Amino acid sequence: MRRETLLTPDCSAVRSGRLLVALSGGADSVALLTMLSRAREAYGLTLFAAHLDHGIRPESAEDAAFCRALCVRLDVPFLCRRIDVPAEAARRHVGLETLARQLRYEWLRQCKAETRSDCIALAHHMDDQAETVLMHLARGAGPEGIGGMRELSGDLYRPLLRFRKAELVEYLRENGLEWREDFTNQIDDNPRNAIRAHVIPGLEKSYPQFVRAAARYARAAQIESDCLADLTREYLESHRFGDDRLSWLELDELPHRAVLRRAIRAACPEDIDWDALNALEALCGMPRGKTDIGKHWFAERTGRRLYFVPKRPLAIPPVPLCLNGETICPPLCRIAATPCAPVPIRDDPWQQVLNAAALEGAVVRTRRDGDRIRPLGGGDKLLSDFFIDKKLDRPLRDVTPLVAVGSRVHWVCGLGISQEAAVKPGDSAVRLICECDMKLYNGGKHHAQ
C-alpha cells in the first residue's frame, strides 16, 4: 500500500486570502499548487495560477500545456502568456537571466492586479534559502541580506521555506504527481547554480544538516534584523527632518552604531556602499566636516546634525510679495499678509509686523550674492555675515525664505528683520506669517551651531 507524504504548508498568514501561484511546471511549483489546492478549504483560500512561457527552451510550449492541464485537474483558473525573452534581451542588450526574471515578475504583478489577488505565492524552499544565504554572504551582505528570503515579504508569499527540496520531490512521487524538468538549472553557469551544484554538496559532506542550519541562521538573522528595524524606525521618527530636497539627522545623542548605520542608510538620498557608509558613520563622530556621497549629494556634519545636501541647490524663482493676501513660493514657503496696527511681534520669529511702505516691490526668494541687511540695533552687513552671527547651519542658508527689495533683505524668516522695515507709531503696517513648505525647521526654530 502506497504511503502518502503529507506536507501541509501553514497558510495562517494569508487565511481567507486570494493567492496567485507562480507556476513554472517544475517540481517545486507543482508541489506548491497541489498543497495549496488541498489546503484552500481549510484556510478559505481563493487560488489562481500564472505561467510565463519565456521562449528560452524548445520545449517551453509543452511546459505551458502541462501547467494548463494541471490547473484544469485542480480546478484553478489559469493565466498564461508567451514572451520571446531571447529576442527581447538582444534588443535591449541585457542579460538573458536578468531580463527573464524581470519580465516574470512584471507579468506576475499584472496577473495579481487582474485577479485582485492579495499575494503572489512562490515555490522557494529551504534549499533555495540556503543558496540565498550563501550568495548574500559571498557579497558581504549585512543582517538584512543574510536573513535571506522571508515567508511573507510585501506581496510575495513563500509557504515552502520550511521544506527541503527532497521532501517536495518525495511528496510528488508518493502522490503520483508529475512535473516538468528544466535541465538549465543543472548548468553551473551562474552563481546560484554553481552553489547548488558544488558548494552545498561539499558543505554537506562535513555538515550533513547544513541546509537546515543555514535556514535557522537566516530566521535568527531576520528576527534580530526586525528588532533593529523597529529601533531605527523609532529613532528616525524623532531625529529625521526635511524632505528629498534637503534632509538631516539630529545627532544630539548618538544611538547604538547598528541603529545609526541603518538610520544613515534610510536618510541618505542616494544608495551607498560599505565604504561610503563607514565614512558617514565616522563623520557623525566628528564635530564638523563634509564628505561626498555620490554624483548629486554630499553630507555635512554641522553642530549636532548630519545634513544631506544637494550639490546643485534647488533653483527657486522669486515671487512678488502680496501685501494683502497669500504669497506662495513653492517649494519654499507660503506667506500670509494682512494690514494691521503698527505693533511689533516679539515672541514668534515666524510672524512679523513690518512697514508696508518698505515692502513695496518686495519678493519672496532665497539668498543671492551681494545680499545685505541692516539688523535691528546693528549696522549694515552682508547677509552671509548675518547668518554667521545667528549661527545658522550652512546647509540651511540656501533654503531660508527671505523678503527682499532688490539686494536689501527686510525679513530673514525665522531669524530677524531689518531696521528699515521696522514699524513706528503711525506707520502703515502689515502682518506677515511664514509657513515653510520644506519643513526645514524643527519646532519652528533654526538650529544654532
Which among 394, 400, 426 has a CA at the least distance from the CA of 412?
400
For residues 400 and 394, give the distance between their C-alpha atoms in angstroms, rounded to a whole number. Answer: 10
Burial class of 345 by CB neighbour count within 10 A (0 to 12, 13 to 18, 19+): middle
The one-letter code for the residue type at 425 is: P
Confidence at residue 143, expressed as pLDDT on a 0 to 100 scale: 81
CA 262 to chain centre: 12
What is the Cα Rg of the chain in Å?
A: 31
Classify residue 358 by its DSSP letter. Answer: G
Query: What pLDDT, on the 0 to 100 scale, is given for residue 440?
Result: 53
Q: Residue type at 418?
A: S
User: Mean pLDDT for each consecutive 10-residue tract of the chain (449 residues)?
Assistant: 65 95 96 96 96 86 95 97 88 86 93 97 97 94 90 96 96 95 75 91 95 96 95 96 87 93 94 94 95 93 93 90 95 94 92 96 96 95 96 92 97 95 96 80 43
pLDDT tens digit sequence for 278-311: 999 999 999 999 999 988 999 999 988 999 999 9
Give me the pLDDT at residue 3, please: 44
Domain locations in the chain as residue ranges? 12-221, 244-310, 319-436
* Angle subtended by helix axes 27-43 and 165-174, to nearest 10: 80
Q: What pLDDT shows up at residue 426?
A: 94
pLDDT of amino acid 361: 96
pLDDT computed for residue 1 by the predictor: 35
406 alpha-carbon distance from chain centroid: 42
8-state DSSP, 190 = S
- Which residues face 339 on adjacent strands? 430
- For residue 19, the cross-strand partners are 47, 119
All three cell numbers of 152, joined, read 511573507
Superfamily designation of domain 12-221: HUPs (3.40.50.620)
129: burial class by Cβ within 10 Å (0-12, 13-18, 19+)?
Answer: buried
pLDDT, one tens digit per residue, over 374-397 is 999 899 999 999 999 999 999 999
